[in-house]
Copies of this chain bind each other. A is one copy, B any other.
Amino acid sequence: MISSTTNIRVRYAETDKMGIVYHTNYFVWFEMCRVEMLDNIGLSYRDLESRGYLLPVLDISASYKKSAHFDDRLTVTCFIDEPPTLRINISYEVRRSDELLVTGSSRHAFMSPEGRPLKPPKDIIQHFETYFPR
């Protein structure tokens, strides 16, 4: 399994008139966690893109259990449970200390800058596999 945790401090801009975090911001935090998770295993999403591999979202979802507020300190943890093949599946948990606020998941595929589906680059897949010993 690969996992990584990102620390978030809620921005004023991320609240809405309910006084809580507007629901779409969690998806932005999911993405920050994805980027840091790749960093942690020695892959830079920026480099991946300069090699011509984009990783757009195919599906995404979230379940909201509790609200977060302005200035809250949160942790976003993301997980890859199985070695990526054509698709990369990622799950997410957002917490305020040990309270679970939001869970989610996303699915990704490799795409060219022109929007064409791409086979995953071999070296990337092999690199991922080293994290899933048989």
Contacts and interface: CB of A to CB of B under 8 A. Distances in A.
Contact of A32 (B11, B46, B57, B69): B11
Interface residues of A, number: 38
Contacts of A16: 12-13, 15-17
Interface in A80-129: 113, 115
Nearest to A70: B17
A24 to B, nearest CB: 4
Interface in A1-50: 11-13, 15-20, 22-25, 27-28, 31-32, 35, 44-46, 49
Given A56-B64, A59-B64, 11 more contacts: A11-B31, A16-B16, A17-B17, A17-B19, A17-B49, A20-B56, A20-B115, A23-B57, A24-B24, A24-B25, A27-B27
